[in-house]
Amino acid sequence: MGFEYALVHVKYTIPPAILLTQLYRPLFSKLDAYKIVFLITIAVVSTIPWDSYLIRTRIWSYPSHVIIGPKLFDIPIEEVFFFIIQTYNTSLFYLILSKPTFQPIYLRVERHGSDRLWPWYKLIGQWSFISIIALGWSLVKGGVEGTYTGLILIWAVPFLLLLWSLAYQFILGLPLSNTLVPIAIPTLYLWIIDTLALKRGTWVINTGTKVGLHLWDGLEIEEALFFLVTNTLIIFGQIAFDHALSILYTFPDLFPDAPLLPSPLLLIRALLTAVYRWDEDRINGLKEAVTRLKKKSRSFYFASSTFQGQLRTDLLLLYSFCRVADDLVDDAATASEASAWIAKLHRYLELIYSRDEKTDTRISDYVVQNFPPGTQYALLQLPYLKISRQPLEDLLHGFETDLEFTPTSHPINTESDLQTYAHRVAGTVARMCIECIFYDYQCTSTTPSFERDQKQRIIDAGDVAGIALQYVNIARDIAVDAKMGRVYIPTTWLTAEGLSHDSILKDPHGVHVESLRTKLLDKAFALYDQASEAIEELPVEARGPIRVAVESYMEIGRVLRQEGYVVKAGRATVPKIRRLRVAWKALKGRLQK
Ligand SMILES: CC(C)=CCC/C(C)=C/CC/C(C)=C/CC/C(C)=C/[C@@H]1[C@@H](COP(=O)(O)OP(=O)(O)O)[C@]1(C)CC/C=C(\C)CC/C=C(\C)CCC=C(C)C
């Protein structure tokens, strides 16, 4: 009996597990736990018979003085733990690295241009894996020295072949940060540990069944291959899981109301859905939504990567709709053109909320005939079934207020006007986000903890938080808005400072303007303090990400309160490092004061 193998874990595998867990903990969801447990189960079940065979046929062995003693099918318990901890560490590393990527946009319908080559890539990959299996087989059959290599290949490569066949699109198409990097770094790390363990004799590969080549001094080529293929298996497994989730959440027509934790059977069904049944417009709509968010809002783009699964998709689509609607109105050449857009948007809402099977095509015809091509996906893919109609109508009423600004009239005269406006353009957005959260996390009124009153209380608090965000937005954009002929600061406040609309339009800077900006920010933070507690009543998966979204935006307000802030394109911006720090604190559950 000895503790040497156990010490390998204590020194080299458990510390990274703790570190990675700490790092990922604020984002760790039930879905992540499900994925990891699923993969660990497969890893343990599939490795035990193989490893047990290798030990019983003395291809490798463990001196009795390095292991504690208990065994499972002849495998030392430390070794079984290795399968678990390796799968855990590599999986967590993948989860961290792949978080910023919105994977559904990497689905390909394989119908046009270079995408038509993808079935060939699949085939080439399949044949390559089959050839490697054949090579493994011939090594096992042919001679003693290639036995260990052959056994690794005939055990692992059929799984790789299967995972490739199910998820080749993501394996090839995702950014390298989701594929190559999470394979390469854990593999390199395990190669180093293995070198140390083999040198110390913690485990021994017996002579006669190995080729005798070393990757570097102390690292047998078979060991290097073993860790490479096992990490590749783990990452391919994670990618196949995510591929299935992307299919489930991207095509609601094929998989209506996909559950939060889909059963293995449903995951397989998703992976086996023929590509020709995928809705290309959904993918294009999502691609447009991601590009739009990335271009237009750094705060929300950054925050969106902390959301997961269906909710991430829904918020992206909701953002896309709101942005397109706002831009149609703001970019219109004349007030009457802007009014016409609002009228068309009202009509669109009327159509979708009275939709039935017969009117389905009428709706898409209406959009195609009345809106520019670059806006059509955003409109048609609004997740309206999860959102009530009222906040959308109110949002449009908010845009109508924007049109009331003329050289002679100003719609925001009192603080109450300001509050109504902010409720319409931002309180409503908060409400819609919360409705999506309730829907996606299945907080129906039958869930005791989500009784009606509680839901209403959260929505009301969300409204207040939205108003706070809009006050920050107005405080940031005094000069930008003035260029568009708009002054959102209430007339009563201007008069008290000895200012007027005209004076702000002419010169939106100076001491008095700064004092009004401060007043607006003070109100924003007071409202935010009053509302932010309610975030903790949201479903646990949404809390951290929502904190990140609202905190990232409120940080603009904090920047504005400091002297000498950086202005880009006329707007105060939050430096990247500072944004990261805010997000990290928000994820860990801390709101700034
Ligand atoms: C993470 C993610 C993808 C979130 C998406 C959120 C979303 C749907 C935003 C829509 C934004 C939008 C374009 C709305 C149109 C009206 C408008 C312009 C509103 C202002 C947004 C600021 O955007 P931006 O700075 O890009 O605007 P301009 O360049 O000035 O045009 C607003 C300030 C509103 C934003 C309000 C929210 C996102 C609501 C946030 C509050 C919650 C989610 C509720 C918190 C919950 C509790 C319980 C307190």
256-297 pLDDT tens trace: 989 999 999 999 999 999 999 999 999 999 999 999 999 999
Asked whether 509 and 479 are in contact (CB, 8 A), the reply is: yes
On whether both 147 and 251 belong to a single domain, the answer is: yes
Query: What one-character-per-residue DSSP string does 540-593 give?
Result: HHHHHHHHHHHHHHHHHHHHHTSTT--EETTEE---HHHHHHHHHHHHTT----
Nearest CA, atom 49, ligand 1: 462
Q: What is the rounded distance in angstroms from the CA atom of residue 274 to the CA atom of residue 278?
A: 7
Q: Please give the distance, rounded to the nearest whole angstrom, from the Cα atom of residue 426 to the centre of ligand 1.
A: 6
On whether both 33 and 133 belong to a single domain, the answer is: yes
CA distances from residue 492 to 377, 468, 473, 507, 533 in whole angstroms, order as listed:
42, 19, 20, 18, 31
Q: Where residue 210 falls among pLDDT bands split at 50, 70, 90?
A: confident
Asked whether 164 and 129 are in contact (CB, 8 A), the reply is: yes
Q: Please give the distance, rounded to the nearest whole angstrom, from the Cα atom of residue 425 to the centre of ligand 1.
A: 8
Query: Which of 322, 393, 443 to mutate for ligand 1's pocket (most ligand atoms within 8 Å of CB)?
Result: 322
Q: What is the rounded distance in angstroms from the CA atom of residue 335 to the CA atom of residue 483?
A: 16
| Protein residues with CB under 6 Å of any ligand 1 atom | 293, 296-297, 300, 303-304, 315-316, 318-319, 322-323, 326, 425-426, 429-430, 433-434, 458, 461-462, 465-466, 469-470, 473, 477, 531-532, 534-535, 538, 546, 549-550
Nearest CA, atom 26, ligand 1: 297
Q: Where residue 446 falls among pLDDT bands split at 50, 70, 90?
A: low
Residue keyed to tokens 């049109």: 403
Nearest CA, atom 7, ligand 1: 319
398-408 pLDDT per residue, tens: 999 999 999 88
Range of the domain at 83: 4-107+121-277
For 519-545, b where at least 16 C-beta lie within 10 A, e where not — what string? bbbebbbebbeebbebbeebbebbbbb
On whether both 576 and 446 belong to a single domain, the answer is: yes
Q: Please give the distance, rounded to the nearest whole angstrom, from the Cα atom of residue 402 to the centre of ligand 1.
A: 17
Q: What is the rounded distance in angstroms from the CA atom of residue 553 to the CA atom of residue 498?
A: 30
Cβ burial of 42 (10 Å; 0-12, 13-18, 19+) is middle
Kindly state whether residue 369 falls inside one of the protein's structural domains: no
On whether both 205 and 303 belong to a single domain, the answer is: no
CA distances from residue 565 to 311, 555, 570 in whole angstroms, order as listed:
34, 12, 11
pLDDT value for 408: 87
Kindly state whether residue 333 falls inside one of the protein's structural domains: no
Kindly state whether residue 251 falls inside one of the protein's structural domains: yes
Q: Where residue 65 falls among pLDDT bands split at 50, 70, 90?
A: confident
Kindly state whether residue 400 falls inside one of the protein's structural domains: yes
On whether both 508 and 569 belong to a single domain, the answer is: yes
On whether both 553 and 408 belong to a single domain, the answer is: yes
| Atom number, ligand 1, closest to the C-alpha of residue 316 | 3
Q: What is the rounded distance in angstroms from the CA atom of residue 85 to the CA atom of residue 341?
A: 57
Helix (H, G, I), strand (E, B) or coil at 220: strand
Q: Does residue 444 have a pLDDT over 60?
A: no
Residue keyed to tokens 């600061």: 489
Q: Is the pTM of this model over 0.90?
A: yes
On whether both 309 and 264 belong to a single domain, the answer is: no
Query: Which of 433, 440, 533, 554 to mutate for ligand 1's pocket (most ligand atoms within 8 Å of CB)?
Result: 433
Share of the chain above pLDDT 90, in %: 80
Q: Please give the distance, rounded to the nearest whole angstrom, from the Cα atom of residue 300 to the centre of ligand 1.
A: 8
Nearest CA, atom 16, ligand 1: 425
pLDDT value for 449: 57
Please state the φ and ψ torsions of residue 568, each to the nearest 5 degrees: -125, 135
Q: Does residue 577 have a pLDDT over 90?
A: yes
On whether both 511 and 462 belong to a single domain, the answer is: yes
- For 25, residues 6+ apart whose C-beta sits below 8 A from its C-beta are none
Q: Please give the distance, rounded to the nearest whole angstrom, from the Cα atom of residue 421 to the centre of ligand 1.
A: 14
Query: What one-character-per-residue DSSP string does 297-329 give?
Result: -HHHHHHHTTS-HHHHHHHHHHHHHHHHHHHHH
